Amino acid sequence: MRRDKGEPQRILSLSEAALQYARDGWFVFPLFGKAPLKGSNGHRDATTDLEQIQNWWRHYPRANIGLATGSLSGLIVLDIDPRHGGHQSVQILEKRYGTIPETRMSRTVHGGLHRFYQHPRDGKHYPNAIEFEGLPGIDVRGDGGYVVLPPSKLYGRLSYVWGNTQIPIAPAPPWLLETLTREKNRQERTFQEADLTQVAGEKWLQEAVEKAREGNRNQVGFQLACQLRDDGLSQTEAEKIMLSYVDQVGPGKTSYTAKEARASLRSAYRRPPREQARRSH
């Protein structure tokens, strides 16, 4: 969110922040935790229409804020997760390409960083990337992706926050754009197929979160992993969704952990996918 250097920082409500982002030309949409609302089209519903945004947050005042990345909002986001070695991977990137350009950043609820860069809007497609250049803990959100914006919260207490609002958003470095272009050309699926897979993953995540209760989180997590496997997601892609599931259902009298989710994932992916006829969605 753009601010003047002398402007005092005030924590906006979710609805106020969503409206301000839209005024800045960022396409936003509501989230339940980190997942799109049930029955929605996820990032495809993102808009800058102030009336629509007011209506969403009037009905869902505690909804988090999703940002549709890519040419739509003019943004590419480097997602760095220290829980999976992201800081070490950044050091490797800097050895390859030099210092990563300083830019606007936000901090995620688990201590990760989102680094925001300008999408060149040059007519080219810059896709999402999981484990960018094979490096753990670094993903890219580009065309067809989304990230969570401040002041969104998880568990009602952990917040996404801006870290340096006085710094402008830098142009995406050429090496990032070139690598994403090569990644697009290497993809085994077409962009349309990959995009549909991502939407399916979001759908199954939403349904799993809604089903999950204190006593069945592990069972529902295993079912989610099986469904992601059946829909053709790679184990790496499925792991990101499973960790999002943990983020949203993990807390309780007893914890449901990332270790348990990964165990379910490994068990599911050892088994062959179910026949297509058994899946009606």
What domains does the chain contain, in order, with CATH numbers? 14-186 (3.30.2250), 191-278 (no CATH)
pLDDT value for 1: 55
Q: Are 221 and 208 in contact (CB under 8 A)?
A: yes
Edge to edge, what strands does the sheet with 146-149 contain? 35-36, 28-32, 64-68, 146-149
Which whole number is the average pLDDT over 207-212?
84
C-alpha angle 51/52/56, rounded to 5°?
A: 120
Q: Where residue 86 falls among pLDDT bands split at 50, 70, 90? A: very high
Q: Are 115 and 172 in contact (CB under 8 A)?
A: no
pLDDT value for 28: 98
- The owner of tokens 């088994």 is 271
Please tell me which residue, 146 or 40, carries the higher pLDDT value.
146
Q: Where residue 247 falls among pLDDT bands split at 50, 70, 90? A: confident
The proportion of the chain whose per-residue pLDDT surpasses 90, expressed as a percent, equals 53
Q: Are 220 and 250 in contact (CB under 8 A)?
A: no
In 3D space, the residue among 27, 84, 83 whose CA is nearest the CA of residue 50 turns out to be 27
Q: Where residue 21 falls among pLDDT bands split at 50, 70, 90? A: very high
Q: Is the pLDDT score of 248 beyond 80?
A: no
CA distance 121 to 22: 18
pTM: 0.69
DSSP H or E run through 116: strand 113-118
C-alpha angle 89/95/98, rounded to 5°?
A: 110
Which whole number is the average pLDDT over 87-104?
95
Q: Is the pLDDT score of 277 beyond 70?
A: no
Rank 10-14, 126-130, 188-192 by mean pLDDT and report only the highest: 126-130
State whether residue 119 is helix, strand or coil: coil
In 3D space, the residue among 80, 100, 75, 105 whose CA is nearest the CA of residue 166 turns out to be 105
DSSP H or E run through 105: strand 105-107
State whether residue 68 is helix, strand or coil: strand
DSSP letter string over 163-217? S-TTSPPEEPPHHHHHHHHHHHHH-SS-HHHHHHHHHHHHHHHHHHHHH--TTTH
CA distance 259 to 31: 25
pLDDT value for 206: 78
Contacts of 208 (CB under 8 A, 6+ apart): 220, 221, 223, 224, 245, 249
Cα-Cα-Cα-Cα torsion 44, 161, 58, 41, nearest 10 degrees, comes to 10
Q: Work out the mean pLDDT of the chain and round it to a whole number.
A: 85
Which whole number is the average pLDDT over 2-22?
75
CA distance 265 to 272: 13
**Which residues are registered as beta bridge partners of 171?**
118
Q: Where residue 237 falls among pLDDT bands split at 50, 70, 90? A: confident
pLDDT value for 267: 93
Q: Where residue 200 falls among pLDDT bands split at 50, 70, 90? A: low
In 3D space, the residue among 174, 168, 169 whose CA is nearest the CA of residue 96 turns out to be 174
CA distance 263 to 238: 12
Q: Are 75 and 118 in contact (CB under 8 A)?
A: yes
- Token readout for 33 is 């935790």
